[in-house]
Each structure stands twice: as C-alpha cells, then as structure tokens.
Amino acid sequence: MPDNVLHLVFEVCSIAGSRTLIDDARVELASAGVIEAVKKRRDAAIFDWLIGAVSLQGISDAVALGYIEGHEAIRLTDINRALKKNPGCPKLRGYHTFYGCAYRKWKGSCAEPEHMPACPLPRHDLRNGRLNRTAYSLALFFRDVCLGDFVGWVDYQLRPGTLQQMVPASLYSQPVIGPMGHIEGIGPKVLSMAMADFLLAADAERTAWIEAGARMIAVDSLVHNWMHRTGVLHRLKAEHPYGEACYRTGGCSEIIEWVSKGIDARQFNPGYPKDFPRFIQHALWRFCAQDELNTCNGNRIKDTDRCKQRVCELYNRCGRRRLHPH
C-alpha cells in the first residue's frame, strides 16, 4: 500500500474516527435488551432490534423513526402468533417458500390474492409493503433456519476453524452475512451495518463474533466518492463505478482491508482490535456524511469541479479529482 494513501486515510481516522464505536453500539444493544437476550439465547429482543435497524433502509433516519413513533412496531411474538393460526397462504408455510410474496401496501396486492383476506402480513401498519415482507421473511429465517436459536446459529456459523478458512479476510463475515443476505428486502449495506454492531458489541466474550464484526465493511456512495475525489482509486489504478465493483478484487472494500493492515486501531482506543476495517470505513463515512463532519460530499463539492475547500485538513494531500469530469 503506497505511503501517501496510508497517510491520507490515517489522517481521516485521526479527524473522524470514532473512539467510542463499540461502546456506542453496546449502549444501543443494552437499551434494546439485546445483550441480555444473547446471554439467555432468546430471539425476540434480537429480532425486534434487528427489524428496527433495517427499517431505516432507503429513507432518512428522522423520517423512518417519526413514522415508527406514530405507528405500531412489528414484533416477533406478533408474527409467531399469527403464523400459528395457519393463515393458509402457501408462501407462509416456511422460509424457503416465502419467496415471491410480492405484497404491495399502496396497491393492496400480492402474489396470492385468493389468500389475502386471511393473511396476517398486510395487517401490520408499517411504512411500506417491503417492510412487511422483510419482517415475515426474517421471522421465518429465525424459526426455520436458526431453529428458534439465532445466537446458537451465529455461534455455529462462526465456529472454531471457520474464520481461518476465509480468504481474503474480508470474507470473515460471509458465514453470517451470506445466508442472511437472502432475507427478503434487506440490502447488503444495511445488513452489514446492523450485524457489525451486533457482532462487535453483543458479547465481549465471543471473540469470533468480534473478529467477524470488525471486518464487516459497508461501502456506500460517500466512501466510494471519497476514494475517487482524493485520488486513492487513481493512485492504485483501481478506478471503477460505484456499486458491485466496490466489493470485487481491487475495489473499495479490499482497499480498506489493505489500509487497515497498516493502521493500528488500538492507538484510537486500546480496546479496539488491531486490524479494524470497520473502524476505518466508519471514519471515512463520518468525514463525508452531511449529518456528521459534512466535509467531502456533493453538497460541498460540485461533481464536475475539483474541490475548493482550502480549510479542509486534507487539501494539500488530496488529489482533488473531479467526480464526473463531464
């Protein structure tokens, strides 16, 4: 890894790196009852927290939370109670049959209209139909794939010897993220963010969880665009469009992995893992995000121009490349 790239990322970590990343997640999980649920291996509180986290997908946190405050919050106990009544829809028989439900709240339609009058899924007043489908898919995943023991399932997926077989190290989270990635309506970015917090903070004694959570990287457009504007992608001959390419060989995710090996995260918090890609990705995001440091984003820099923010701490080291030259 070129020193100029390493120094640039280190400077961002010094400016925007959260010294309380794991502690903040632990406080959130504790308040939601997740840490206690992990100790007692009870799914309900974990499900309720996780469905709340993924409900923020595709909309601002403020709007999503405002809607939730004025409407019901869907819970695992509610779904399990509804499923025990045998609603009759073949989609609801199990996790592997649920695919293709196609419920649309605004149209009042689904893939099995003859079963809709007795179906419990539309009766939950969630923000949109996708969330209804996601909640039932996740509940069926907990029941049928995890056999009612999500904690035990995660333990098994990350059992001794499993992580060491994951090459490159960025694949450490795949035993968990891979199967969960097929849950209806949950995107990879929001899933990685939620599960990284869960694995890092739910149990300080489960070292395999922490090791996997530390390597969960969610590359959003802010992180990708920062790498482009600063010239990191150009210097590494790794220029690519935002999207799936960010997770391919030589993409943004792998670059963060490379950089992480050269930055000891323990200098920011002695309790952090030494090699902590999630911390670096989070620092890059905080540096750019409008609700955080609001430094490097489309609101501050025109996509067709070079950055002109001379007050930015990175200005003299940054490549200041145009995001879209034309």
Rounded distance between C-alpha atoms, residue 319 and residue 228, angstroms: 9
pLDDT in tens, 7-63: 999 999 999 999 999 999 999 999 999 999 999 999 999 999 999 998 875 544 444
Q: Are 302 and 27 in contact (CB under 8 A)?
A: no
- Average pLDDT on 158-162 reads 81
Place of tokens 């034309």: 326
Instruction: Check residue 68 and give its pLDDT.
Output: 47
Instruction: Check residue 63 and give its pLDDT.
Output: 46
Q: Which of 60-64, 214-218, 237-241 has the lowest mean pLDDT?
A: 60-64
Rounded distance between C-alpha atoms, residue 232 and residue 239, angstroms: 9
In the chain, the amino acid numbered 83 is L
pLDDT in tens, 96-126: 999 999 999 989 999 999 999 999 999 998 8
Rounded distance between C-alpha atoms, residue 172 and residue 175, angstroms: 7
- Average pLDDT on 88-95 reads 94
Average pLDDT, rounded, for the chain: 90
Instruction: Assign 171 a pLDDT band (cuts: 50, 70, 90).
Output: low
DSSP string, 74-135: P-HHHHHHHHHT----GGGG-GGG-TT---BTTTTB-S-GGGGGG-SGGGS--SSHHHHHHH
Give the pTM.
0.89
pLDDT(157) > 50: yes
pLDDT(69) > 80: no
